[in-house]
Amino acid sequence: MRGTEETGTDAADLAALRELARVFCERELVPHQERWREQHKVDRELWHRAGRAGLLCLSIPEEYGGGGGTYAHEAVLVEEQARAGDTAWGVAVHSTVAAPYLLAYGTPEQRRAWLPPMATGEVVAAIAMTEPGTGSDLKAVATRARREGDEYVISGSKTFITNATQADLVIVVARTGPGEGAHGLSLILVESDRPGFRRGRVLEKIGQRGQDASELFLDEVRVPADRVLGGEPGRGFAQLMEQLPQERLTIAITAVVAMETAVESTLAYTKERTAFGRRVFDFQNTRFTLAEAATEARVARTFLDDCLARHLRGELDAATAAMAKYWTTERASRVVDQCLQLHGGYGYMAEYPISHLWVDQRVQRIYGGTTEIMKEVISRQL
């Protein structure tokens, strides 16, 4: 993030990474947006190019092929991707969600098997939590994995899974033990080429159309028992709860960038566009609206940078991460909508970036836990 260089991590290192990430995004992401929206996925080669550029698994230790950095490094890439206007590439799921699960909980064998190829782009990772009937309620997961000798046999379905069309490895949330609720949930590493594993359709979304959110089906998929993440079944819910604050912080980063980008682009547009013989910016309503939006963005940035600093110190609690996710995504929707309004009819035209920013931003209030779930998380710690 723009404030990342001030969080205690080496500023020169982060600045160099930011330049690399910005150039990569401008060259490899920006020119392909329309085509990716049409095909509903990025090119598989993009992952290899990112791997060669050293932009995958930035916070994973070098011994596992990663960049050896911290979450601050991941945040820089997430921000530059968002600033480029791209929501198609599922690098955040791959590097800031899936890889940290393996690093934090994986056995030495699991880390050595999967993290190095994830860092090169040879392996693309996804995590399959959500099911058609569960939404944000992870305790209601119905996918089951029954033990048969030295194997688990997994049956169930997942939906809204980012990277689903290209994933080689999927971390599947499944019920391995008896009972309901949080008890008996495990995270299981499933290769996508196993018999019974099937990819469903790419879902037709109103926004983020270049991203391949899809359905996944597991029909008696057999995996070795040692594919349970960490080797100890029944730990899945605790693992999810420990990692979700970082995922929600990542969403907050993209929301804040959406606000800043909307304000910047709208300032430029209103200073160039004329109406009734005056620049649109010269109308008091325009100036006041942008003053409010710029203030919202500045406040959000300050809060976000504080959360990032807390996270880097290991002090970001679940409630504060939920506050960041809830507050920034709600404010971003409002700010982007106000900025689109200042574009007039052109703001509704697909050729203007503000139109994509507007529709892409809406889902941020839903995934990673809805706004309503965030309020529940916050209220429980009041």
| Residue 57 near residue 116, CB atoms below 8 Å | no
Cβ-contact 41, 210 below 8 angstroms: yes
With contact defined as beta carbons under 8 Å apart, do 77 and 58 qualify? Answer: yes
In residues, how long is the chain? 382
Q: What residues contact 173, with CB distance under 8 A and at least 6 apart?
A: 127, 128, 129, 138, 141, 143, 185, 186, 187, 236, 240
Q: Which residues lie below 8 Å from residue 284, measured CB to CB, with a gap of 6+?
A: none
CA dihedral sign of residues 164, 79, 47, 107: negative
User: φ and ψ at 301, to 5 degrees?
Assistant: -65, -40
What's the rounded Cα separation, in Å, for the pair 275 and 267? 15
The H or E element containing residue 251 is helix 236-272
Give CA 292 to chain center in angstroms. Answer: 27
Q: Do 56 and 21 form a contact (C-beta atoms < 8 A)?
A: no
Residues taking part in catalysis: 247
Strands in the chain per DSSP E: 125-128, 144-148, 151-161, 169-175, 185-191, 197-202, 214-224, 274-275, 278-279
Cα 205 from Cα 51, distance rounded (Å): 28
CB distance 259 to 336 below 8 Å: yes
